Amino acid sequence: MVEALNRNQVAWRVANDIDEGAFVNLGVGMPLNVLNYVPEGREIIFHSENGVLGMKPLEEGAEPNLDLINAGKQPISMLPGGAFFHHSDSFAMVRGGHIDVCVLGAYEVGQNGDLANWRLPNTKSAPAVGGAMDLAYGARQGYIMCDHNGRDGAPKIVKQCTLPLTGAKCVTKVFTDIAVIERADDGMVVREMAEGLEFEELQERTGAELRLANDWKTLTAPDIAPPEKRAR
């Protein structure tokens, strides 16, 4: 039986991959949860494109300040020394190459590192690509956090993207519920696989060609409850 991670566990795994002192932007959706799982004692400075630097999760039981939110409109708190600034200054930080890591969601990731994450056919998707385009090119490393397969079972890591691109060759690593995959010069390299998953099965569930690293590890995470499902 494959022991896939839930989305909170994937967020934990991403947070543990980010280096001490890094400046990090979290995309809207699943990536915002990374903020909740920073390892104790590790300083990571989180940036939000709406003009915040040094945000942290809202403390349990704290009264939210509705003027203090992240790009996903969620209430947040601030680290000592945190700052607020104009939206244009926020994007100057991104475009100027001052963000070490961006964590984004994905509809498709191409074998060459292309990213498509803003429009799906026949759906009410975003009218334009938005800030993800700036992050894809401006950040030094592009981390992708997503389910390995869609609800229909189709792979999200594919040989070539068919959806409109957010950025070309901008993906560094992909963190899914069953694997951690790194883009290398010679293709997509599997660094970690879920317990009980064979490489052949992982390849079958992936559209891109994979290579198993010689020093691959089992993908594990602490026992963390999955996110609560939103009422529809």
Do 193 and 213 meet the contact criterion of CB atoms below 8 Å apart? no
- DSSP label at residue 148: S
Alpha helices in 68-126 (DSSP H): 87-95
User: C-alpha dihedral over 80, 78, 37, 108, to 10 degrees?
Assistant: -130
- CB-based contact 16:39 (threshold 8 Å): yes
**Is residue 31 classed as helix, strand or coil in its secondary structure?**
helix
Q: Which residues contact 211 (CB under 8 A, 6 or more apart)?
A: 186, 187, 188, 189, 190
Q: Is beta strand 108-110 parallel, antiparallel or unpaired with respect to 141-145?
A: unpaired
Active-site entry in 20, 40, 49, 59: 49
How do 187-194 and 210-219 pair as beta strands? parallel
Phi-psi map region of 153: left, alpha, beta (phi>0 left; psi -120 to 50 alpha):
left
CA distances from 79 to 49, 58, 73, 96, 199 (A): 17, 11, 18, 23, 42
In terms of DSSP H, where are the helices of the chain? 7-15, 87-95, 132-138, 199-204
195 as an active site residue: the answer is no
What amino acid positions are annotated as catalytic residues? 49
